[in-house]
């Protein structure tokens, strides 16, 4: 559920940056500062994120409606740990608050690209926090078991490839503008941060897989 919520935040952020970014006034060219502040987001980024959201929604439906919708056999119910339920609730509450403020400012002062960028970066932060909540417990779990049994390493390799490709795409786009400064970094803060977090933790998973392999689970006593 945390991962599904994170992808939801990401898709909203990308839609706003792709389709709600204001062009320069008629008769005016895009300034150097305007180019720097415009996020390097493409339709491919949105398709990739929408694909992730869709698959997570399918998994969520299997978890929540496995018997009624998918015809799964009746098994014991799986419940989210209370701490994660609280985190999810706080995340949704934060999203609601940010969205209300964003909508209120826009209704009173009109649409503004800088405000849109700030809101989208906050959504990226929510997505990154959801990713960290997914990755950190898995790293600890693998370490405690001293095993990667049941862990799909193929997905890790694909995630590393995707993260590196995302950063390379961004580098090529920035290189075409022949400039990189603080404004460019802030405009693409979310994309850079998400790619770095994905690459970092999946390299950790890869190192654990190399170290532990598919050995039997080891119980570590304090």
For the chain, the structural domain boundaries read: 2-212
Q: pLDDT band at residue 141, thresholds of 50, 70 and 90?
A: confident
What per-residue confidence (pLDDT) applies to 216?
60
pTM, rounded to two decimals: 0.82
Tokens standing for residue 88: 């999810």
Alpha-carbon gap, residue 202 to 168, rounded angstroms: 17
Judged by DSSP in three states, 37 sits in: helix
Considering only residues 146 and 178, tell me which one the structure prediction assigns the higher pLDDT.
Answer: 146
Pick the closest to residue 10 from 201, 200, 195 (CA basis): 195
Alpha-carbon gap, residue 120 to 40, rounded angstroms: 13
Alpha-carbon gap, residue 123 to 134, rounded angstroms: 17
What per-residue confidence (pLDDT) applies to 222?
45
Considering only residues 125 and 60, tell me which one the structure prediction assigns the higher pLDDT.
Answer: 125
pLDDT tens, position by position, 151-180: 888 888 888 888 888 888 888 877 776 666
Tokens standing for residue 15: 């839609």
SS (H, E, C) 92-142: HHHHHHHHHHHHHHHHHHCCCHHHHHHHHHHHHHHHHHHHHHHHHHHHHHH
Tokens standing for residue 70: 């998918």
Contacts of 79 (CB under 8 A, 6+ apart): none
Alpha-carbon gap, residue 214 to 79, rounded angstroms: 27
């Amino acid at each position: 559920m945390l991962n599904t919520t994170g992808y939801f935040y990401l898709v909203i952020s990308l839609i706003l940056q792709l389709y709600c970014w204001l062009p320069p006034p008629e008769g005016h060219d895009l300034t150097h500062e305007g180019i720097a502040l415009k996020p390097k987001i493409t339709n491919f980024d949105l398709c990739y994120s929408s694909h992730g959201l869709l698959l997570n929604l399918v998994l969520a439906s299997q978890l929540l409606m496995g018997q009624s919708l998918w015809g799964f056999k009746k098994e014991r119910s799986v419940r989210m740990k209370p701490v994660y339920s609280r985190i999810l609730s706080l995340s949704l509450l934060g999203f609601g608050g940010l969205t209300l403020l964003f909508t209120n400012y826009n209704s009173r002062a009109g649409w503004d690209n800088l405000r849109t960028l700030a809101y989208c970066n906050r959504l990226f932060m929510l997505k990154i926090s959801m990713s960290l909540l997914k990755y950190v417990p898995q790293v600890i779990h693998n370490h405690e078991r001293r095993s990667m049994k049941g862990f799909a390493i193929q997905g890790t390799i694909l995630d590393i490839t995707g993260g590196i490709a995302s950063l390379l795409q961004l580098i090529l786009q920035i290189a075409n503008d022949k400039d990189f400064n603080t404004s460019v970094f802030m405009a693409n803060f979310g994309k850079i941060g998400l790619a770095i977090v994905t690459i970092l933790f999946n390299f950790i998973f890869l190192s654990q897989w190399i170290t532990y392999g598919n050995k039997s689970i080891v119980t570590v006593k304090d």
